[in-house]
Each structure stands twice: as C-alpha cells, then as structure tokens.
Amino acid sequence: MTVYTDYLWFKTKNRREIVRITDEVAAIVGKSGVTEGMALVSAMHITAGVYVNDWESGLIEDLQEWAERLAPARPDYRHHQTGEDNADAHLKRTLLGHQVVLPITKGALDLGPWEQVFYAEFDGRRRKRVIVKVMGQ
Amino acid sequence: MTVYTDYLWFKTKNRREIVRITDEVAAIVGKSGVTEGMALVSAMHITAGVYVNDWESGLIEDLQEWAERLAPARPDYRHHQTGEDNADAHLKRTLLGHQVVLPITKGALDLGPWEQVFYAEFDGRRRKRVIVKVMGQ
Amino acid sequence: MTVYTDYLWFKTKNRREIVRITDEVAAIVGKSGVTEGMALVSAMHITAGVYVNDWESGLIEDLQEWAERLAPARPDYRHHQTGEDNADAHLKRTLLGHQVVLPITKGALDLGPWEQVFYAEFDGRRRKRVIVKVMGQ
C-alpha cells in the first residue's frame, strides 16, 4: 500500500478565478506510483473549492454567475462584523464543493470523457493550497 | 489490500430521472471481497449526480423541484452558445453532488437506517456510466 | 494497512444546531494509529450534514440563514404527505453536504489554518450518528 501526498499552490490574479488542475493532479498521481486507488483533492482554505465539471468557457461563466446568484456578495453578512468581507466566498465554496475523490485505474485518473478537475477561487490574490493525497497500490 | 473496480451503466427513458442504486453498489462491494474499507461511487458524466438521501417518492419529487428552482432550465446560458442545451443539468448535478464515499464495515455497506444511494440523471436518454471503486481489506 | 471505525453520537437540544467536531475526529484518528491516510466523516441520518468551514459564530449564522433561504421550511413539500415535516432538512443537508474526507499526514489531520469540521443538524432532538472511518498505514 502506498500513500503519497503533495500540494498545489495558487495565487490568482483576480479575486475570483476558476483554474483547471486536471493535469497537475494527474502528474502527482503519476509520481505516486499508485496504479489502483484513489486521489483526494481538497481545498485547504475555506473560501475556495474543488469541483469536477466541463472545460468550456461558457459553462465556467454560467457556474460563476450561478454561484453569485445563489450566494451573492453583500455587505450585510454577520461574518463581516469581524472585519472580513468574504462571507459570500465561504458560501460559494460550500455550493460548489471543496473536495473530490478521483478514481485511479491502470495507472491513470479514471475520468469520464468530459470530466475535468477545477480549483475555484472566491477570495484570491494570496497564496493558498490544495492537498492531493493519493492512496492505493 | 484490495482495490476493485466496476461500472454501472444507465440509459434512462426520461431526460431527468432518479434511480436507486444501493443494491447494485452493495453487490459490487460483495464481489470485491472487501470487508473493511470504502467504496467511491462517482458519476463519470458531468450532467449527472450521485447522492445519498431518502427513498420516498414525495421527497424525490421535492428534490427535483428544488433543483429546478435553484438551477432552472433556461435558454440563455452562455454554455448554449456552443449548441448545447443542458447547462441546467451541469448546475443541478453540482447542487446535488456527483459522488459519495460509502463506508464498508464487517463485509457490508455501513449505512444509517434511511440512507439510500441514488443516481440523479439530468440529461439522459443516452448511455452513461458511474464508477464504483472499492478499496480496503 | 489499517482500517479503523468509530461513531460519534449526537442528540442536540435544538432542532437545528451546528456542532464543531474537529477534536472528536482527531481523537479517533489518534486512536486508529494511522499516520498516513484518510478519514471519512459521514452523517448516517439523512437530515444532517457534515462540512468543513470557518469556526466563527457570525459565519455559522450566515450559513444557517443561507440554507433557510435556499431550502426554506414550508408546509407544502410532497414529502409531508407521509406525515413528516422535515423535507427542508433533507434539502439543507444536500446543500451543505453530508460527508467529508480528511487527509491524514504524519499522524495528524492535515487541515488548512482555518479548516474546522462541523456536524450540521437540521432535525435534531433525537439520537443520531456520524461514522468516522479511518484508512491508511
């Protein structure tokens, strides 16, 4: 049994940004030597998410607009009484999810034809991490 | 350590359909021989989800109406400029979740009294897959 | 390879309550002896969730208000024709998520600086369980 850990670092230019990370995760899986198992990909900051969906720019904008509609940026969140201004980012990452578990089969990520892995930043412009934990044989 | 992989295939009659898959997943866990571990159950298509909730027809309809209210089918998504018409399906599967990890204890799925596993199809009438990856001892 | 299972029990005073469980999960990971691996933390009842987010009372209230706005308590859910009155709890737990997988590195939960694990009860005042399944080496 092998357990292999690595981290991806992000510092996005914009406060909100969607970054495709499928290749980076696949590279870590390759380095791990695991051919049958699972990879956990999980945002370590609570204003960012990780999700699997389509690599199509229109849909990525639809997802961002949708998150804004359901979890809008607003001044009047209670969380902002602490001096923060990012309560919507905490809610948006809850909506999109903050982690995925990816299957590994025959030495590669076992993804469907259109599955791509994304990092969803909702309060960026500072260094943040995603853990990739690979487990299997 | 054992890692065992199988796939469930779906081709629903209706575009949107909720299908209970607890027994199919349990059968795969049985075939795997794993008595202590976890089973990842993950939709491989990005317009379908997998979730755990109640096996009660009223609630299943409530869930579908709720998904429609929060992520409505509409013509004006940006994704539709590619010729697609299923942006709402991508959002609905994000809302309900696209995967679950089920614990396996003493040779069986270790589920609470009302936990049932469902496949949630939002753009069906074509062949689509769910991966079931069992890992443990 | 080690697989270790334990359960957390809850009986909240209020129907809706958010309970921090990071320390309880960490204690189970400690007992498991696993130093590299993953811990699945999953609500076994379908009107409760488990999520990772901020340990700040304002944000916890924001999350609860947000769940109420997107999945309001209402009399007219179809599920209520069975005599139940908790359809909103089923939807709220879907929104927040019902399970997380936590990485374990060098003998401890490998969490970001602000990550905390919470049990989200939406239909409490009765005994309910969360499973913690630790797997690794």
Q: How far apart are the first and last CA of chain A?
A: 5
ipTM above 0.90, yes or no: yes
Q: Give the global pTM.
A: 0.99
pLDDT for position A51? 98
Q: What is the pLDDT of residues A21-73, one digit of tens each?
A: 999 999 999 999 999 999 999 999 999 999 999 999 999 999 999 999 999 99
pLDDT, position A98:
98
Token duo for residue C43: 């609500």
- What's the mean pLDDT in A64-84? 98
Selected for mutation to probe chain B from A51, A61, A110 (highest B CB count within 10 Å) is A110
Task: Find out whether B7 and B107 touch, Cβ atoms under 8 Å.
Answer: no
Candidate from B1, B61, B137 with C-beta closest to C78: B61
Write down the mean pLDDT value for chain B: 98
- Collapsing DSSP to helix, strand or coil, B33 comes out as coil
DSSP letter (8 states) at residue C119: E
- 3-state class of A30 per DSSP? helix
Q: How high is the pLDDT of residue A121?
A: 98
Interface of B with A (CB under 8 A): 1, 3, 5, 40, 42-46, 70-71, 77-82, 87, 90-91, 93-95, 97-99, 101, 129, 131, 133, 135
Nearest CA in chain C to B95: C95
> Which tokens go with A13?
């230019």
Q: Residue B37 and residue C3: Cβ atoms within 8 Å?
A: yes
Question: Which distant-in-sequence residues (6+ apart) come within 8 Å of B82 by Cβ?
Answer: A56, A58
CA torsion sign for B27, C46, A43, A69 is positive
E-state strands within B21-105: 37-43, 48-53, 99-105
Predicted local distance difference test score (pLDDT) of residue C86? 98
Assign C127 a pLDDT band (cuts: 50, 70, 90).
very high
Residue A79: which pLDDT band, with cuts at 50, 70 and 90? Answer: very high
Looking at beta carbons, which residues of chain C come within 8 Å of A133?
A: 38, 103, 105, 110
Chain A residues within an 8 Å CB radius of C97: 94, 97
Q: Tell me, what amino acid is at C9?
A: W
Residues of C in contact with B66 (CB under 8 A): 71, 91
CA quadruple A55, A61, A66, A72: dihedral, nearest 10: 130
Query: Once rounded to an integer, what is the mean pLDDT over residues C23-42?
Result: 98
Q: What is the pLDDT of residues C44-54, one digit of tens each?
A: 999 999 999 99
**pLDDT classification of B55: cutoffs 50, 70, 90:** very high
pLDDT, tens digit (0-9, with 9 covering 90-100), for C84-93 = 999 999 999 9
SS3 content of chain A, % helix, strand, coil (to 5): 30, 35, 35
CA atoms within 13 A on the CB side of B77: 27
Q: Average pLDDT, whole number, for chain A?
A: 98
Residues 6+ apart with CB under 8 A from B88: B68, B71, B72, B73, B74, B77, B122
Phi, psi (5° rounding) for residue C131? -90, 140
Which amino acid, residue B91? L
Least Cα distance to B103 among C69, A116, C4, A42 occurs for C4
Give the pLDDT confidence of B57-111 residue by residue, as tens digits. 999 999 999 999 999 999 999 999 999 999 999 999 999 999 999 999 999 999 9
pLDDT value, residue B19 = 98
Contact B79 A53 (CB under 8 A): no
In chain C, residues with a C-beta closer than 8 Å to the C-beta of B105 are: 5, 133
Whether C137 and C34 have beta carbons less than 8 Å apart is answered as yes
Select the residue from C29, C34, C36 to test the A interface by mutation, using most A Cβ atoms within 10 A. Answer: C36
∠B116-B121-B124 over CA atoms, to 5°?
A: 145
Q: What is the pLDDT of residue B65?
A: 98
With b meaning 16 or more CB within 10 Å and e meaning fewer, what string describes B87-111?
Answer: bbbbbbbbbbbbbbbbbbbeeebbb
Q: Which of B40, B80, B90 sits opposite A54 (nearest CB)?
A: B90
Contact C109, C102 (CB under 8 A): yes
pLDDT at res. A25: 98
Residue B129 and residue B18 in contact, taking contact as beta carbons nearer than 8 Å: no
- Give the 3-state secondary structure of residue A29: helix
Residue C111 half-sphere exposure toward CB, CA atoms < 13 A: 19
The mean per-residue pLDDT over the stretch A109-136 comes to: 98
List, as one string, the DSSP characters of B5-31: EEEEEE--SSSSEEEE-HHHHHHHHHH
> Treating both helix axes as pointing N-terminal to C-terminal, what angle do A87-96 and C87-96 enclose, rounded to 10 degrees?
100
pLDDT above 70 coverage of chain A, percent: 100
What local confidence, expressed as pLDDT, does residue B87 receive? 98
